[in-house]
Amino acid sequence: MTTPGWFRRGWRLLLTLLLRSPLCYLGALWIEKQRRTLEPEGRPLDALTRTALNGFFDRDTLECVRTVAAASIEEPRWLGWVRRLGLPMDFTLSQAAGVTYGDLILVANPVTQDNPSVAKEPDVALLFHELVHVVQYRALGLHGFLHTYVGGWIAADFRYLDIPLEIEAYRLEERFRTSPSEMFSVEAEIRERLRSQTVPEP
């Protein structure tokens, strides 16, 4: 039996009302905690990476961002509690290749099997994707970013790849992967999207 559209819309609205505010609050606490913990280890982008990304991002963005490499990405305990509600979540942070906390990018960088003492350099396209999130954070602010991200996640029935801010990041990343010599301004793209309101409120 097919679930009526009005029921799905009503259920999504209820989840938004019940979950968005507490998840945004918990998310903000987690991000601030992670930034305080990881910031001393943060490193600026290396010269080769900055050269590859110059022209796609403003100089100020490339200068402010810091990266930290870790064997894996820790997931907040409260996200496990949310998962126990039985929501159809298809993604965990422990699976992520990278995650952005404001202007700090945490990259999952496990050591190579043939040389356990040497970690692989992060993929430039991965850093491009995470830098798109840095620009989104800067454009929306921490709470605006979380409000939009969590609301989009709920509206997408908790499907990671259907979150509007992720769709935007993957679309711009794909443009970079396909034509790395054809520069465009990520900041301008996001400013234009915000003006046109193409990321809808759930």
Q: pTM for the whole thing?
A: 0.86
Q: What is the pLDDT of residues 103-120, one digit of tens each?
A: 999 999 865 444 444 445
Q: 38 vs 17, which has greater pLDDT?
A: 38
State phi, psi for 44 to the nearest 5 degrees.
-70, 160
Q: What is the mean pLDDT of the chain?
A: 86
d(CA 136, CA 108): 21
Closest listed residue to residue 126, CA positions, set 184, 55, 187, 177 = 177
The full set of domain ranges for the chain reads: 5-196
Residue 50, token pair as written in the block = 């900055």
Give pLDDT tens digits for 39-81: 999 999 999 999 999 999 999 999 999 999 998 899 998 888 8
